[in-house]
Amino acid sequence: MIVLFLQIFTCFLFTTTTSSPHGFTIDLIHRRSNAYSSQVSDTQLGSPYANTVFDSSMYLMKLQVGTPPYEIEAVLDTGSELIWTQCLPCLHCYDQTAPIFDPSKSSTFKEKRCDTHDHSCPYEIVYNDKSYTKGTLATETVTIHSTSGEPFVMAETIIGCGRNNSVFSPSFSGIVGLNWGSLSLITQMGGAYPGLISYCFAGKGTSKINFGANAIVAGDGVVSTTMFVTTAKPGFYYLNLDAVSVGDTRIETLGTPFHALKGNIVIDSGSTYTYLPGSFCNLVREAVEYVVPAVRAADPMDNDMLCYYSDTIDIFPVITMHFSGGADLVLDKYNMYFELNRGGVFCLAIICNNPPQEAIFGNRAQNNFLVGYDSSSLLVSFSPTDCSALWN
C-alpha cells in the first residue's frame, strides 16, 4: 500500500538484535482467492508451509509479537515502512476477526518515550486507499519461524500499536512494512544479509517470503532491472518502466509525461492492481480495445476499469511489461485480467490514475514470478515460476 501521509514522532535511537544472521523463510498467506543460489545450505531449507486462506486480494504473512509469542496475520507491504498491529485497549478499531493483541499480557512490551506532553510517541499513516492507522510506537519482541527450525527472534523491535484504525479487512491484524525505511522489518533485522527479500505469489495455494541468503534469485530465465531511490520518497522501491506491449503493439513511455530516467513506477506488494498515469494508461487501454472482440461492460466497482462481457479469458491479448535493462515480463492473462465474482464479465487489471498519481506495479501482476529485492546491488529480479508448485 502506498502511503499518502506519514507522521511519526521520534526522538530516539534504536538497535535491533536477532538470533541469526543467516537466511530464513517465513509463512505467507494469500487472501484472495526457481531459482535459489547454489550456496544456500541445506539447513536453510524445508520451512513448513502455511495454510492458505482466501479473502480479498492481499497477501498476509504470519509473525509473532510479544512474550509469550502471539501470532498475527498482517499484510505484506513493500509500499510502506511501519510494522503495526491493532492493540487493546482500542479507541476505534475495525472489526478484526482474530483476537486483538493485548500488550498488557506481554512481558517484553514497552512504550517508546518521546518529548510530548504525555511522553508517548504517536504515529499516523494514511494509505492510498484512504485506510489509516493511528497509535503509538513501542518496542516488542518479534519472532519469525526460520527454515532451520530455530525461531528468528528480534528483540526490542519498534512496532506501531494501532488504537484508531479504519477501512481494513477484518482478516487483517495489521501491516508489515517492508520498504527501505528505518522502521521497516527488513531494516530492523540487520544481520549479514540486509535488504535481501524474495517472494512468490500464487493465485491460490501456499506462498512464502524469504529473507537473507534464501532470498537470492538467480538462474536460467531470470531478468533483473535497476531499483531506484528517490529523495521525495526514499523508502520506496522504484523501477523504470520503458514500455508496455499489448500483443504486438508496443507503447513507449518515452515521449510521454510518464517517462523518467530514475524510476517512474513503484513495485508494491500491498496494492492489488497496477496503476498507470492517465495519458499513458489510455494508450494501453486503446490498444486492448482495438483487439478484443467483445462487447464492453460497465465497471460495477466504479474504478473506471476496462471491462467486457465474455465467458473466457482467452479472447484477451498478452501484455508485456518492459522494464529498464531488458527486463521484459511477459504476463500471464491471469496477471492482467480478472473475472468478476458474478461471472461473465472480465476486466483489465490496470487502473488509470486521473489525475496522475503514483504509478504502481501491483501484486496481481507479480503472480507466478519469484521476485527478489537486493538493496546492495540495487536490483529487482524476476524468475517465471509456478508459485503454487514451488512449495507444495
pLDDT digits (tens, 9 = 90+) for 178-237: 998 899 988 998 765 567 888 988 877 667 788 887 788 999 999 999 999 888 888 899
268: annotated active-site residue = yes
Mean pLDDT across the chain, nearest whole number? 83
332: annotated active-site residue = no
Q: What is the pTM of this model?
A: 0.87
How do strand 58-65 and strand 132-145 relate by DSSP bridges? antiparallel
Cβ neighbours around 361 below 10 Å, total:
25
- C-alpha cell at position 221: 530465465
Distance between CA atoms of residues 171 and 160, nearest Å: 18
Q: Which of 77, 220, 299, 374 is catalytic?
A: 77
Per the CB < 8 A criterion, the answer to whether 188 and 350 are in contact is: no
Distance between CA atoms of residues 16 and 39, nearest Å: 27
Residue-range domains of the chain with CATH: 3-215 (2.40.70.10), 223-390 (2.40.70.10)
pLDDT of residue 33: 35
- Of 15, 1, 8, 389, nearest to 207 (Cα)? 389
Between 167 and 265, the more confident residue is 265
Residue 92 predicted with pLDDT over 90: yes
Per the CB < 8 A criterion, the answer to whether 203 and 334 are in contact is: yes
Considering 15-24, 38-47, 129-138, the range whose residues carry the highest mean pLDDT is 129-138
Distance between CA atoms of residues 329 and 333, nearest Å: 12
SS3 36: coil
Between 50 and 80, the more confident residue is 80
User: Average of pLDDT values for 147-166?
Assistant: 88
311-333 per-position pLDDT tens digit:
999 999 999 999 999 999 999 99
pLDDT of residue 32: 37
Distance between CA atoms of residues 184 and 290, nearest Å: 43
How do strand 319-323 and strand 241-246 relate by DSSP bridges? antiparallel
Placement of cell 494501453 in the chain: 284
Q: Which of 27, 242, 268, 374 is catalytic?
A: 268
Task: Report DSSP state, residue 104.
Answer: G
Cβ neighbours around 86 below 10 Å, total:
26
Residue 3 predicted with pLDDT over 70: yes
Placement of cell 473475472 in the chain: 339
Residue 167 predicted with pLDDT over 90: no
**How deeply is 254 buried, as exposed, middle or buried, from its count of CB atoms within 10 A (0-12, 13-18, 19+)?**
exposed
Residue 246 predicted with pLDDT over 90: yes
Residue 392 predicted with pLDDT over 60: no
The rounded percent of the chain whose pLDDT value lies above 70 is: 83
pLDDT of residue 52: 27
* Segment holding 278, helix H or strand E: helix 278-291
Residue 375 predicted with pLDDT over 90: no
Distance between CA atoms of residues 316 and 312, nearest Å: 9
